A and B are shown apart, each in its own frame.
Chain A
């Protein structure tokens, strides 16, 4: 008998499953990405494939009106992700020892912004901070705040998952040896959590780099992030330039994620490998 989910598939069934998975990947993920890359080099696209290939769109994207977008996105992403990581880590550590009821309330507070449409988060911040005493409307701070509200849940969740998987013996032994709370946190807990902290930052940063709906509600002139620029370009018909900006956005994001992964590998990779070896 052929079973699909028990790990005893026959070879033809296994090939069919792999084929279907690759097809879905190609149609819904790799295909559109490839077309965006092609479009970013297109001078014209009248047939099946683009023609008059050119670097011109990249030149315009990096020197034209959109030149500041890359900086705005990177700065917003970095600040929001770092703040989300600090906030999420602190909250996850604080809630770990709390009573179950407080844990549920704390988790709910963090997860709530991720449960509502991001455009609502933007609108909420706009309404809340458009009047005194806290007047943030029209500032860069409100953009960062919007991103922070949206990505915090993911950073918090990743750190919380890491803490849940941390074997308690490490901290028990360290405390028994005389390590006080902050010494233990600095020398044992955070290094052991490094892979999860890296993952939390990367997730927050990637989400922030792609955030559009909330940003569009709150961004001030002069702080136009890349997704807004891409949206504006395609909206007015500059699809090829929008595609070039999309490729730059993806490359910049991957570059930062790769850098973080390297730092994490140095700081906490040894811990992860050791736990795997057990």
Chain B
């Protein structure tokens, strides 16, 4: 499948825009579900929206798809204002958690549904449906009914159906959460592969699974209470979260209360308990939070380290997870499986590379 119609791709190349939310506010009754939401997704980019339940991520997706009408703001697709357009006129493919394959239609009919709705000739419908099924590796299932498919197969068919209309934008609404872990990983890889084959497709991926977001998305937006808390390149957002909430929501984080003493050789000098440590950036003085991911801590490293008591040790197959206590602060450490893990109650030193430890405001 060529993925995009030539003229449409050319038009988008001119604008360079994928999806745009500009000050979008959505309210249900009197309750504001999404407030002054502004975010741009570049053409060909995969952006993951994550956040806890009720944070507004699905509302943002529904506003883009046309199922929730904003009370303020503007939604654009490829530079075109679609705020008042009906869902059918937006050119969006959508994959949802429950797959929503039409149970009374065979797989090929399901995939061809959008084409039939748009009045594409029957012969072309069939050819394009089979091409999409081939793309996701389930061309042999064309004549089956949805109930005759496994969860993973249904999800592939749902993706094929969304891609058959050659959408400008693909919306993924928690599409993998009903799958078991192994199939979920395979499907995330599959979507990554599909996007590599269709690099101009803009994907908005709503998920509560941070691992899924980190492994698939170029950029991540974190929502909290209907507002955009943080947004940025996935790796940068993970390594340098701008807020405490972002640090805690995107992966696990140790947030150590420290006092900034000053800057020395480009690194911030901070006091944690009785230990003086080096951290990344952070001009000024005062109380801050030192963010260190559990896998960034090194057991038995005295350099740039502190003492902690082992509270618990859990073997997790490929890794060991250690629960430590340093002063009044609980610290989590993960490392590759240890040959001789420390015993609970013993004292250990743990250290870290200053480059892996940014400073955050305690808010």
User: Residues of A at under 8 Å CB distance from B?
Assistant: 167, 169-170, 172-180, 183-184, 187-188, 191-192, 194, 267-268, 270-271, 273-275, 277-278
The residues in B between 61 and 89 inclusive whose CB is less than 8 angstroms from any CB of A are 65-67, 86-89
| C-alpha spacing A188/B88, complex, angstroms | 14
Residue of B nearest to A278 (CB): B98
B90 within 8 A of A: yes
A-B contact count (CB 8 A): 87
Residue of B nearest to A173 (CB): B100
- In contact, A172 and B94 (Cβ under 8 angstroms): yes
- In contact, B104 and A177 (Cβ under 8 angstroms): no
The residues in B between 114 and 156 inclusive whose CB is less than 8 angstroms from any CB of A are 114, 116-118, 145-147
Please, could you name 9 A-B residue pairs with CB atoms under 8 Å apart, sorted by A? A169-B100, A172-B96, A172-B100, A174-B117, A176-B171, A177-B113, A178-B118, A187-B102, A192-B104
A172-B88 CB under 8 A given contacts A179-B113, A268-B104, A273-B147: no
- In contact, A174 and B113 (Cβ under 8 angstroms): yes
- In contact, A270 and B67 (Cβ under 8 angstroms): no
| C-alpha spacing A170/B100, complex, angstroms | 5
A176-B94 CB under 8 A given contacts A169-B100, A170-B100: yes
Shortest distance between the CB of B35 and any CB in chain A (Å): 23
| C-alpha spacing A173/B98, complex, angstroms | 11
Interface residue tally for chain B (C-beta within 8 Å): 31
Shortest distance between the CB of A172 and any CB in chain B (Å): 6
Q: Select which of A172, A176, A178, A274 is within 8 A of B103 by beta carbon.
A: A274
| Residues of chain A with a CB closer than 8 A to B165's CB | 177-178
B231 within 8 A of A: no
Shortest distance between the CB of B135 and any CB in chain A (Å): 17
| Residues of chain A with a CB closer than 8 A to B98's CB | 167, 169, 278
A270-B147 CB under 8 A given contacts A172-B67, A175-B86, A177-B117: yes
B57 within 8 A of A: no
| Residues of chain B with a CB closer than 8 A to A271's CB | 103-104
- In contact, B86 and A192 (Cβ under 8 angstroms): no
Q: Select which of B92, B104, B113, B161 is within 8 A of A270 by beta carbon.
A: B104
Q: Select which of B114, B145, B147 is within 8 A of A178 by beta carbon.
A: B114
B93 within 8 A of A: yes
Residue of B nearest to A167 (CB): B98
Name, among B92, B93, B104, the residue most crowded by chain A CB atoms within 10 Å (CB to CB).
B104
- In contact, A188 and B147 (Cβ under 8 angstroms): no
Shortest distance between the CB of A103 and any CB in chain B (Å): 15
A179-B100 CB under 8 A given contacts A172-B65, A274-B147: no
Shortest distance between the CB of B141 and any CB in chain A (Å): 15
| Residues of chain B with a CB closer than 8 A to A270's CB | 103-104, 145, 147
| C-alpha spacing A178/B93, complex, angstroms | 9
Q: Select which of B65, B103, B114 is within 8 A of A275 by beta carbon.
A: B103
- In contact, B161 and A177 (Cβ under 8 angstroms): yes
- In contact, A274 and B145 (Cβ under 8 angstroms): yes
Shortest distance between the CB of B296 and any CB in chain A (Å): 40
- In contact, A173 and B117 (Cβ under 8 angstroms): no
| C-alpha spacing A185/B1, complex, angstroms | 30
- In contact, A176 and B90 (Cβ under 8 angstroms): yes
- In contact, B145 and A175 (Cβ under 8 angstroms): no
Shortest distance between the CB of B298 and any CB in chain A (Å): 47
- In contact, B147 and A277 (Cβ under 8 angstroms): yes
Q: Select which of A178, A187, A192, A268 is within 8 A of B88 by beta carbon.
A: A178
- In contact, B147 and A180 (Cβ under 8 angstroms): no
Q: Select which of B88, B97, B162 is within 8 A of A179 by beta carbon.
A: B88
- In contact, B104 and A173 (Cβ under 8 angstroms): no
Residue of B nearest to A268 (CB): B104
| Residues of chain A with a CB closer than 8 A to B91's CB | 178
Nearest 8 A/B pairs, CB to CB: A177-B114, A274-B103, A169-B100, A175-B87, A179-B117, A176-B94, A274-B147, A271-B103
Shortest distance between the CB of B33 and any CB in chain A (Å): 16
Residue of B nearest to A174 (CB): B113
| Residues of chain A with a CB closer than 8 A to B66's CB | 175-176
| Residues of chain B with a CB closer than 8 A to A170's CB | 100, 102
Residue of A nearest to B146 (CB): A274
Residue of A nearest to B91 (CB): A178
- In contact, B102 and A188 (Cβ under 8 angstroms): yes
| Residues of chain B with a CB closer than 8 A to A172's CB | 65, 67, 87, 94, 96, 100
- In contact, A169 and B103 (Cβ under 8 angstroms): no
Q: Select which of B87, B90, B100, B145 is within 8 A of A167 by beta carbon.
A: B100
Q: Select which of A169, A175, A178, A273 is within 8 A of B96 by beta carbon.
A: A169
Residue of A nearest to B87 (CB): A175
| C-alpha spacing A274/B99, complex, angstroms | 12
| Residues of chain B with a CB closer than 8 A to A179's CB | 88, 113-114, 117
| Residues of chain A with a CB closer than 8 A to B96's CB | 169, 172-173
Q: Select which of B65, B67, B88, B145 is within 8 A of A180 by beta carbon.
A: B88
A175-B104 CB under 8 A given contacts A169-B98, A273-B147, A277-B147: no
| Residues of chain A with a CB closer than 8 A to B104's CB | 191-192, 194, 267-268, 270-271
Shortest distance between the CB of A148 and any CB in chain B (Å): 29
Shortest distance between the CB of B281 and any CB in chain A (Å): 44
Shortest distance between the CB of A149 and any CB in chain B (Å): 33
| C-alpha spacing A176/B169, complex, angstroms | 11
| C-alpha spacing A176/B89, complex, angstroms | 8
Name, among A179, A267, A275, the residue most crowded by chain B CB atoms within 10 Å (CB to CB).
A179
- In contact, B65 and A176 (Cβ under 8 angstroms): yes
Q: Select which of B86, B90, B94 is within 8 A of A173 by beta carbon.
A: B94
